């Protein structure tokens, strides 16, 4: 431990640790939240690896493959945009005019005929560059948010295929503008240009078969984002705890169901929010959704670690869960439709509890319209959104080593009725959210272990086919440590265990599913006399998905260094069922559509 800022004389933990661990890599003058290795650091590591001068690498995020329902025709593929993102930071998004592909128009069935829509982002980059965040919007509605892969000098390529069927109405709606923002910086050191192609693949169901009520995409998708022109992404930027970013919108008079889909990503001082100390607003964050000033829902985000985070080598070639394709979060607004259906403008806003600079947040309002009536009506029956509870307890005997524990909990519930041609139907939306976190600092500040779990239970009841329970659990464990500190030889160690677990159960006919997705990675960089002499890392990942509609997927993949050691995958449910039973996870109930 050397010259990081002097320990503060208070009972707070000194968390210069990320720097103490990175001493040989980063000067203490580096950005205060810099849990990153610089391009130069990685170049030094690569220089001692035998495999450096190999051909272009392909990095990938483990996800299940997308298949159109049996009997579908297609794909009908359309290149939407092809662009090289060089110096794009603080510039306007790249735009292209969008017209529904002729196969979508010709078919006659429009959005209802789409059985699967896949948005494919395929990109490459060569040279030196940081990971960058990017977003794709159609008519102002966000379709995809991702982090780029950090390139190698020899080049890297990656692709993401995202199911965008839920945006079918938007894809069919008519001419609009496609916008892509990827804020990249180019200078003498960071010369990596991101080349990207964006392609839409459409599959169509056989004529006269329409989707079941439970799975039909919304009839209208209303963007809740910033409008062009601007020199940034269309997301709102939330920079502090009091900031509420909002927009005003109106809802068509015959809506009977409303779901707000929220996209979030954390950056700069809050990129690694879960490692933040009490004087950095602690490790807890949530995005709250405000309707005319009331908190109507909350997003407790999955901790996405971008490809440059903690130690970039860890995420090569298997990238972090959610990093190439960030998850979005649904808030059921149907109970509040009574208020929204008055034909007037309403304010939808976003805040981030404990925020530091910066959070990028926007949303899409998915609306289902009553084809048999020109006006629906509704009313709120009950609404209860008590304040967030939570606390941080910290202790330290010497101002350096110690522990702090943080907890948080929030409940939101709302019931409202909507009268449409389907009847007068009450809907209840309930969220029960908990967060438990510990951060232990030891070895004179040279080791840090973070262990936290976010649990989010969300329930929609009342409206038959749309009723569902969703339980999400996001465990995260991070260990940062060094050994041999003060001697000529030193090891910098990182361990990350990250999980995305989800159980979805629903009313009859509503697809139910379970997902267990887990990474347990470790990396070690060995230094001798301040020189990198070796590095090793490994990433085992297990992805198990089981769906009531018969779709199952198991992937068991493991990499060591840049090499994939084994990669086993199967699409039969037998394997996943067997494993699930062994792990004691309940079987998914209900039978979906054939």
Contact residues toward ligand NAG (CB under 6 A) are 82, 97, 99, 122-124, 174-175, 195, 197, 239-240, 242-243, 386, 389, 395, 397, 402-403, 409-411, 432, 451, 477, 542, 556, 579
Q: Does residue 3 contact residue 19 with C-beta atoms inside 8 Å?
A: no
Terminal Cα-to-Cα distance of the chain (whole angstroms): 62
Q: Does residue 115 contact residue 256 with C-beta atoms inside 8 Å?
A: no
Measured distance CA(481)–CA(522) in Å, rounded: 11
In angstroms, the Cα distances linking 208 to 120, 201, 511 are 28, 21, 21
Burial 389-407 (b: 16+ CB within 10 A, else e): ebebebebeebbbbebbbb
The nearer residue to ligand NAG, 19 or 98, going by C-beta atoms, is 98
The nearer residue to ligand NAG, 485 or 541, going by C-beta atoms, is 541
The nearer residue to ligand NAG, 230 or 375, going by C-beta atoms, is 230
Pull the structure tokens for residue 448.
């840090």
Measured distance CA(395)–CA(301) in Å, rounded: 27
Min dist CB 432 to ligand NAG, Å, is: 5
Min dist CB 366 to ligand NAG, Å, is: 24
Min dist CB 556 to ligand NAG, Å, is: 4
Measured distance CA(221)–CA(137) in Å, rounded: 12
The nearer residue to ligand NAG, 377 or 409, going by C-beta atoms, is 409
Min dist CB 243 to ligand NAG, Å, is: 4
CA angle 20/24/26 to nearest 5° reads 75
Min dist CB 577 to ligand NAG, Å, is: 13
**Nearest CA-CA partner of 304 in 514, 552, 131, 183:** 131
Measured distance CA(28)–CA(18) in Å, rounded: 10
The nearer residue to ligand NAG, 377 or 411, going by C-beta atoms, is 411
Min dist CB 82 to ligand NAG, Å, is: 5
Measured distance CA(275)–CA(32) in Å, rounded: 12
The nearer residue to ligand NAG, 2 or 97, going by C-beta atoms, is 97
Q: What are phi and psi of 251, to 5 degrees?
A: -115, 140
The nearer residue to ligand NAG, 386 or 484, going by C-beta atoms, is 386
Measured distance CA(558)–CA(541) in Å, rounded: 6
The nearer residue to ligand NAG, 91 or 122, going by C-beta atoms, is 122
Min dist CB 284 to ligand NAG, Å, is: 13
Min dist CB 124 to ligand NAG, Å, is: 4
Min dist CB 125 to ligand NAG, Å, is: 9
**Contacting residues for 277 by C-beta, under 8 A, at least 6 apart:** 12, 13, 15, 283, 404, 439
Chain mean position to CA 433: 18
The nearer residue to ligand NAG, 473 or 556, going by C-beta atoms, is 556
Q: Are strands 531-547 and 245-249 parallel, antiparallel or unpaired?
A: unpaired
Min dist CB 340 to ligand NAG, Å, is: 26
The nearer residue to ligand NAG, 21 or 45, going by C-beta atoms, is 21
């Amino acid at each position: 431990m050397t010259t990081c800022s002097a320990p503060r004389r208070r009972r707070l933990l000194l968390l210069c640790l990320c720097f103490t661990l990175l001493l040989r890599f980063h000067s203490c003058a580096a950005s205060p939240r810099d849990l990153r290795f610089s391009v130069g650091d990685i170049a030094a590591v690569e220089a001692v690896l035998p495999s450096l001068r190999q051909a272009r690498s392909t990095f990938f995020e483990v996800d299940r493959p997308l298949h159109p329902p049996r009997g579908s025709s297609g794909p009908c593929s359309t290149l939407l945009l092809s662009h090289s993102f060089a110096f794009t930071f603080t510039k306007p998004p790249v735009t292209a005019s969008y017209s529904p592909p002729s196969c979508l128009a010709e078919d006659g069935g429009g959005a209802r005929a789409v059985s699967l829509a896949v948005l494919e982002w395929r990109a490459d980059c060569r040279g030196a560059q940081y990971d960058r965040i990017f977003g794709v919007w159609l008519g102002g509605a966000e379709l995809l948010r991702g982090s780029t892969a950090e390139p190698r000098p020899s080049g890297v390529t990656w692709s993401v295929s995202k199911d965008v069927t839920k945006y079918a109405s938007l894809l069919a709606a008519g001419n609009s503008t496609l916008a892509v923002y990827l804020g990249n910086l180019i200078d003498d050191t960071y010369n990596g240009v991101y080349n990207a192609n964006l392609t839409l693949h459409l599959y169509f169901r056989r004529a006269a078969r329409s989707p079941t009520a439970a799975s039909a995409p919304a009839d209208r998708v209303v963007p809740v984002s910033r409008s062009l022109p601007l020199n940034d992404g269309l997301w709102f930027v939330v920079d502090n705890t009091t900031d509420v970013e909002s927009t005003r919108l109106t809802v068509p008079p015959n809506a009977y169901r409303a779901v707000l889909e929220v996209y979030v990503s954390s950056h700069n001082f809050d990129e690694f929010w879960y490692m933040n100390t009490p004087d950095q607003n602690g490790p807890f964050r949530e995005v709250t959704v405000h309707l005319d000033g009331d908190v109507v829902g909350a997003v407790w985000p999955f901790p996405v670690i971008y490809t440059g985070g903690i130690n970039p080598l860890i995420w090569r070639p298997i990238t972090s869960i959610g990093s190439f394709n960030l998850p979005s979060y649904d808030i059921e607004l149907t109970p509040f439709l009574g208020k929204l259906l008055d034909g007037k403008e309403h304010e939808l806003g976003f805040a981030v509890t404990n925020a530091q600079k910066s959070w990028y947040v926007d949303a899409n309002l998915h609306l289902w319209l009553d084809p048999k009536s020109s006006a629906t009506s509704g009313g709120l029956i009950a609404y209860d959104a008590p304040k967030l509870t939570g606390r941080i307890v910290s202790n330290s005997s010497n101002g350096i080593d110690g522990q702090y524990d943080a907890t948080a909990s929030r409940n939101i519930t709302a019931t409202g009725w909507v009268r449409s041609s389907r009847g007068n139907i009450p809907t209840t939306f309930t969220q029960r959210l908990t967060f438990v976190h510990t951060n232990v600092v030891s070895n004179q500040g040279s080791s840090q272990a973070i262990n936290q779990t976010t649990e989010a239970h969300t329930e929609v009841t009342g409206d038959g086919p749309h009723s569902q329970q969703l339980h999400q659990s996001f465990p995260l464990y991070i260990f940062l440590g060094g050994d041999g500190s003060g001697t000529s030889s030193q090891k910098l160690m990182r361990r990350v265990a990250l999980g995305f677990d989800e159980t979805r159960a629903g009313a009859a006919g509503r697809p139910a599913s379970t997902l267990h997705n887990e990474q347990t990675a470790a990396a070690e960089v060995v230094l001798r006399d301040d020189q990198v002499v070796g590095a090793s890392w490994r990433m085992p990942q297990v992805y198990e998905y089981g769906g009531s509609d018969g779709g199952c997927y198991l992937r068991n993949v493991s990499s060591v260094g840049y090499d994939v050691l084994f990669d086993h995958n199967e699409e039969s449910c037998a394997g996943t069922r067997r494993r699930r039973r062994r792990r004691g996870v309940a079987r998914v109930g209900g039978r979906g559509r054939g």
